[in-house]
Structure 1
Amino acid sequence: MRARSSKQQTADGGREATAGTPGLAVELRGVRRQYGRGTRTVHALAGVDLTLPRGTFTAVMGPSGSGKSTFLQCAAGLDRPSSGAVFLGGTDITAMGEDELTELRRDRLGFVFQAFNLLPSLNVEQNVLLPMRLAGQRQDRRRAAAVLAQVGLADKGRRRPAELSGGQQQRVAIARALVTSPDVIFADEPTGALDTGTATEVLGMLRHAVDTQGATVVMVTHDPAAAAWADSVLFLSDGAFAGRLEHGSAAQIAARMSALTAPSSRVGELAGAAA
Structure 2
Amino acid sequence: MPMEDPGSSPGHSAVGGAGQEGPAVRLEGVSRVYGKGPGAVHALREVSVAFGRGGFTAVMGPSGSGKSTFLHCAAGLDRPTSGRVLLAGADIGRLGENALTVLRRERIGFVFQAFNLLPSLTVEQNITLPLRLSRRRTDREWLARVLERTGLGERTRHRPSELSGGQQQRVAIARALITRPEVVFADEPTGALDSTTGAEILGLLGESVRALGQTVVMVTHDPVAAAHADLVLFLADGRLVDTLPAPTADTVAERMARLGKR
- Native 8 Å contact 1:151 1:205 kept in 2: yes
Structure 1: which amino acid aligns with 2:58?
A
Aligned to 1:70: 69
Contact residue 22 and residue 90 of structure 1 kept, 8 A = no
The aligned counterpart of 1:199 is: 198
1:54-85, CA deviations, whole angstroms, 9 ceiling, x for partnerless residues?
11110000111110000000000000000100
**Match of 2:212, as an amino acid?**
Q
- Aligned-pair CA distance for 1:176: 0.4
Aligned to 2:211: 212
Distance across 2 between alignment mates of 1:141 and 1:102: 25
* Partner Cα distance (1:172, 1:62) in 2: 28
Aligned counterparts of 2:26 and 2:137: Cα–Cα separation in 1: 31
Query: 1:43 Cα shift?
Result: 0.3
Separation in structure 2 between the aligned mates of residue 167 and residue 212 of structure 1, nearest angstrom = 20
Query: Which has the larger displacement, 35-44 or 142-151?
Result: 142-151
Percent identical pairs in the alignment equals 62
Residue deviations 1:153-207 (CA, integer Å, cap 9, x gap): 1110111101100000000001101111111000000011111111111111110
Unaligned runs of 5+ in 2: 1-19
Counterpart Cα distance in 2 of 1:157 and 1:142: 15
1:117 aligned residue: 116
User: Which residue of structure 1 lines up, in the alignment, with residue 232 of structure 2?
Assistant: 233
* Amino acid in structure 2 at the alignment position of 1:57: F
Correspondences of 1:1-275 after superposition (within 5 Å): 22-262=21-261, 264=262
How far has the Cα of 1:138 moved from its partner?
1.9
**Which deviations, in whole Å up to 9, do the C-alpha atoms of 1:21-67 show, x marking residues without a partner?**
95111111110000011111000001101011111110000111110
Shift of 1:140: 4.0
The DSSP-based 3-state class of the residue aligned with 1:24 is coil
Name the count of aligned residue pairs.
Answer: 243
Q: Secondary structure at the match of 1:206?
A: helix
In structure 2, the CA distance between the partners of 1:220 and 1:253, relative to structure 1 (3 Å rule), is same
Aligned partner of residue 129 in structure 1, secondary structure: helix
C-alpha distance in 1, partners of 2:100/2:177? 19
1:130-152: CA deviations, max 9, x gaps?
Answer: 00011011234553333122111
Question: Separation in 2 of the partners of 1:142 and 1:230?
Answer: 28
Q: Find the residue that maps to 2:65 and give its secondary structure.
A: coil
RMSD of aligned C-alpha atoms? 1.2
Q: Which has the larger radius of gyration?
A: 1
Larger mean Cα displacement after TM superposition, 176-185 or 133-142: 133-142
Cα contact 1:77–1:105 (8 A) shared by 2: yes
SS at match of 1:44: strand
Q: Aligned partners of 1:248 and 1:150: how far apart in 2?
A: 24
**1:3 equivalent in structure 2:** none
Tell me if the contact between 1:224 and 1:254 (Cα under 8 Å) persists in the aligned partners. Answer: yes
What TM-score do you get using the length of structure 2 for normalisation?
0.90
Instruction: Output the CA distance in 1 between the equivalents of 2:24 and 2:223.
Output: 24
Unaligned runs of 5+ in 1: 1-20, 265-275
Q: Which runs of 4+ in 1 moved over 6 A?
A: none
TM-score (norm 1): 0.86
Question: Distance in 2 between the 1:150 and 1:251 partners?
Answer: 29
Letter in 1 for 2:153: A
Aligned residue type for 1:193: A
In 2, the alpha carbon distance for the partners of 1:223 and 1:72 equals 16
